[in-house]
Structure 1
Amino acid sequence: MTRFLISSLLWLMLAVSAGASPIRIKDLVEFDGVRGNDLVGYGLVVGLNGTGDGLRNAPFTEEIMSNLLERLGVNVAGEQFRPKNVAAVFVTATLPPFSRAGSQIDVTVSAIGDAKSLLGGTLIMTPLTAADGQIYAVGQGTVIAGGASVDGAAASVVQGVPTAGVIPSGARVEREIEFEFSSLSRLRLALRNPDFTTAERIERGINADFGRPVARMLDAGTVDLDIAATRMRSPAHVLGRLENILIEPQRKARVVVDQRSGTIVMGDDVRISRVAVSQGGLTLRIEEAPMVVQPNPFAPGETVVIPRTGASISEKPGIGLAEVADGTNLSEVIAGLNALGVSPRDMIDILKSIKAAGALHAEFLVR
């Protein structure tokens, strides 16, 4: 366990060291107006091998199937049909910025009824609408499910999520988003991780590259860009030039803990003041061993169960009172924590206590 903690923290130290190098502006910000749009649709997946919706439990599947067949010229009014190879699904996708009519996008398909698997199914033509209610794409194609399901007479095995899948390039764009990008006179850059220092460095980097004041920091998360002041032909040419400018971002000192997996992630700027730590393990054990008492053969009486419980408490000797010295860099912090010689899950509790004592100088996030 300790070896796992050491290797995890060393991996993080290398990752953070690599991330300290300059990064392109395009990887730090979102450009105002250059964004995708979410699409959603409701359709049918057919061709399933008996793993579709049970129409008694999912009547909406029968309804949409009847409507689809009637649009195709097949009248099924009053008919009783119970196919098991059809499933009702939600279809979701993201329309990328500047998508043109005829281009293709990926879609995700998810069952909403009691279908057991979408493996091998085919999505029938499904309109995809945006928040304004307009149809922007149409999806259709073979579903690639993300799992497998096998049933037997007395057992079943499920791996992954067979009731959801994707269709690569499964939707064709039919309508374009109306947006006159070339007419913009100003453009805002929105930082993915707002920080005053990073925003100021982006402002200085852009102004230095263009040789004139064309960018102005508005706040920790926004930098305003004057397109006209750049003296370039269009906003597209401006973004093509500035998005590759290298900036060294500033990050907050942060410790992220995942209690489910016992993962601990530390940033390069994490610091720990000199502190003493003592940790011990307490184990409570309770064992039930009931005893059955029966009367002698042919003797009057009845069989009774006498409960027997054994309880014990044991405590590990622990590490005593160990000193964690001041950490001026990440490697020193790791060395000080590893000197405690505890498992990653015990380390989470120790970090919480150090934070409560005011000796951990970083934002502490528990997930």
Structure 2
Amino acid sequence: MAQRHLDPTNTTTAPADAVAGYLRERATEFLRALRTHRETGGGTASGAEESTEAALALRRSARRISGTLHTFRPLLDAEWSESLRPELAWLSGTLGREHAYAARLDRLVNALNRLSDATHLPTQTAVAARPETGPSSIGAATGSTEVGAGTSQVRAATGGRTAAGAARVGAAASGTAPRPPATPDRGNLTVGAAKAGALLDRQLTLARTRAHSAALQALGSSRFHAVADSVAVLASEVPLTPSAAATDLGPLAAAAHDRLRDAVSGLPLHSAGHPYNAEALIHGLSPDTAPHPQDAPWHQVRLLLRLHRYALEVLHPEAVPVDLRLLAAGEALNRHRDASEAASAAASAARTPRIAPATAYALGVLHADQRHEVEASRFAFQQCWQKETVSTS
């Protein structure tokens, strides 16, 4: 069912001029950010901060140019646009990794601090008794999520049952009979959380350093210079097709909306609408290192929502109409992506060889907590999207 706020609105600007003007503006922003990045690449703290902001601005411009080339490709020279789009995607991905690792570490450390201060936390008795650590430790911790969660309130409401869940799964892994849950040992849990935080800091800081080096290397490569040259040409001349002047932007923008709507229709919104949905948490019990199988469709919806937003920016060059529901949906999907990647980072750290049982247990609890956040984000998106549908039915 189509949503009223997603329907494109025709503008008074000629179609070809609207697309060309938008691309020229984004290309100018790209070149301005590139110049700032080169000028502020010094060793001062303020210079480093400005350089980081410039790199993010480069990424934002690259994403918008790439998205516009995709949505409005019938108006643009096909060979040129199809050769530039993957290069812009490569640049955007390379520049975004350093910031992503830093944000992920901050998110996980904050979550560990919150969990270690909670009053209802599972004990480590069952985990400490097990002879091995690593992937199976995640299963012990995620046993505390047996009731699932759709919101943070659910996590608080079920906190009293997490100890029993962890004890049962831990006993199953060690081959012993289930034992009654013991009183939570917050001292040991704090030690595990501290060691888990130190391990995450080492791993994600190293990943961030490597991403920073990769970004600097990319910005100095001939591949990047070729991209910058193409964008510089774009700032002054947009390669339009001969039929661009007669092409209507409305159907192209509507097609972007339809792709978004179709992708949303493929999501399990029914199960996401139940606060006690635990289906998406089952994967955490497995030592499989592959990304969570349920996350990919949600990430795709996030990408399509972003493309739709860029299309609206082309249609409304002066100011995109503010739609609070659309913003809420985007924020929910952003939180979903952040929590999903943070959970993967916690699971990866728990697979580190020869870590202490307390550390592995804390990482497992952290993994379960972030999967709870994934479920909460899906629930928020479902509520937002269903409200949009009802309001226009």
**Do these two structures clear the TM 0.5 threshold for a shared fold by scoring above it?**
no
Q: Determine which structure has the larger strand proportion and give its number.
A: 1
Task: Using CA pairs under 8 Å that are at least 6 residues apart, name the structure with larger relative contact order, 1 or 2.
Answer: 2
Q: Give the TM-score of the pair, scaled to structure 1.
A: 0.21
Q: Determine which structure has the larger helix proportion and give its number.
A: 2
Larger Rg: 1
Q: Give the TM-score of the pair, scaled to structure 2.
A: 0.20
